Structure 1
Amino acid sequence: MTDLLETLRRHAEAHADAAGMAPTPIPGLSTVRATAPSDLVHAVSRPLVCLVVQGSKRVTMGRQDFDFSAGDSLLITADVPTVSQITKASRAAPYLSLVLELDPGVIADLIAEMMPGPTARGAPVRVDQTEAEVAEAALRLMRLFDRPSAVPILQCALVREMHYWLLAGRHGPAIRNIAWPGGQAQRVARAVAILRAEYAKPLRVERLAAEAGMSASTFHQHFRAVTSLSPLQFQKHLRLIEARRLMLSEGAQAASAAFSVGYESVSQFTREYHRMFGAPPARSTKASRARAAA
C-alpha cells in the first residue's frame, strides 16, 4: 500500500482542514489526516468503509471497542452512534485514512449482476484486513484527482469498481445487507433519512414507522436492532452532536445551540449534553479548544 500511502498523504496535506478532513472531487469520498492522537469524537456514522494506510484508531459502538491500524478496513453497515479516537499519530508519521460512504444503489445493482452470495448478521461495525484489490481500486480513485478533466467521466466506474471488490471480499456478506430488497436495514434507512433531515423538528414515531412500512411496535424493534438506539435516542444524538459542532466551530453559546437544534429547555439540553459528553457545554467546549490549541 506504499503508493496509496504516498498519494493519500499528498492530497491530505494539500487539502485537509483544521480538523484533518479533506474532501475530494468525488462525492462521498474523503481523506483524514492527524498528526497527534485525537480527542474522543462522537458521531452518528453513515454506512461507510474506512481504509487506514498509516497510524491507528479506535471506534466504540455501545460496549464494543474496535481497534484497527495500517492495512485494516473498518466497515459500518448502518447509521449507528459511534465514539472514535485516533490512537497512533505523529508529525513524522501522521494518521492517514480514506473514507468512502457506501452507496446502496450501487450495491443493489452489483448484487443483481453478481453470483448469489451469503449475507452476514451481527454488529453493524466490523474490522478486517484490507484486500489488495480494494487498495488498488482506491489508489486508482485517488490518482484520478491529478486529471481533473477525467473525474466526471471516470468517477462512477471507479467508485462502482471499489464497491465491487468490497462485495467480492471479506466484507461482502455484511455489505449485502445494506441493499437487501425489502430488508429491515433498507426500510429503517428510509426513516433515518427523515430523522437526519428534520432532527430539529418534533417527529411522530407513527410517521417514521409508516415510511418504513411497519407498525409502530415493529418499527421500534427493528430500528433498535439496526441502529442500537430508539428513534427518540437517535434524534437526541443528532441534536447533541450538531449543538456541539455549533459551539466548537461557530462559537455559539449553549442556549443558542440548544434552541437551534430543537430543544425547548436549556436545562434539559445541559443535562443531556453532560450525560453524553461527560461535562456541561461550557466546560466541555473550553476543554476541547484547549486540547486543540495544545
Structure 2
Amino acid sequence: MEYDYPPYRPPSEAGSALIRVVRGCTWNKCAFCGMYKDMKFEKRDKSEIFREIDRLREFFPYARTAFLGDSNPLVHNDIVEIINYLREKNPWIERVTAYARAKTIARMSEEKLLALKDAGLDRVHIGMESGDDEVLKLVKKGATAEDIIQAGKKAGKNFEVSFYYILGLGGKERSRSHALKSAEVINEAKPDFVRIRTLTVIPGTDIEKLNLRLLDPVGQLEELRMLVENIDAKTYFTCDHVSNHLFANNRPIFMGVHGKLPEDKDRMLEEIDSAIELVSAIDHVMNSNHLARMGRLML
C-alpha cells in the first residue's frame, strides 16, 4: 500500500501523523503562494482515507497528534465522519488539527463547527496574511479583514486558532498599514497563536508581477516591532519559521521573537530593538529573499 502524504504542513505539525483528506487548494489564487499550483483540487474518496487511517500507526509510529491536509480539508463532504473515524481507530491521538480558509470558516454554520468539535477537531490553522484590505486585495487573498475576524471568532468558540501573518506582504509602501491593521484584526479575533512568516518571493508566482519594494532586514524588524507593539489580545506570538531568520557571516544573528502577549511584550520589543541596532551596524545582512535568490533557502 502506498501512503498519500500531504505535501505541506505547518512547522508546528512536524511530529504529527499526516492524513490527506483533499488534494490541492480550493482557492489557489494567492499571488504570494507557490503551493499546489500544478494540482487540481479534489476531495479524496472516503474509503481511501479510511484505509490509511486503519494503518496510521504503521506509518507514524511515534506521533501523538494528527494533521489533516491539504489546504482547507474542512470542505470535504464527509469531514465529520472522517475525524470521528480517525479518533475511533487511533485513540492514542491527543490532538487533531487542519488548515482552514478564513472565508470557509466565516461562512460555516455554528452547527457544522460544533459537529467538527464534537468529532474531535482541536485546532485550525488560518492564513490571515494581513488585516489590511488593500493588501489582501492586492495579493488576491479572496477574503477581507472582516472575513478573517469572523472566522477567528467563530472558530475560537470551538477550537484553538492559529493565525499566520506574512511580514512584508505590503512591501515598503504599505508596511505600516499592513502591521497596524493586522494588529487590529488580531485584537478583535483573538486567535490563540499568531505565527509569523516573512514574504519570500518564489519564482513564477504572481507576486513577482506586483513589483513590490521588498523590505530590507531593518524594515523587516521595524514592521515586526509595530505588529508586536500594537497587539493587545492575549495570544502566543511566535516566529516559528526559517523565513524570519536574519544571517550575517554565514550564521544566524536573529531568529525571531517568541512569547505570550501581553505578558512578554516588553521583553520581545527589547529583543527586536537590540536586533535593529545590531543589523544597522553590520554590512551585508541577509534575509530569506537574499538566501532564496542564492539558492540557499527552499520554501
TM-score, normalization by structure 2: 0.28
TM-score, with length taken from structure 1: 0.28
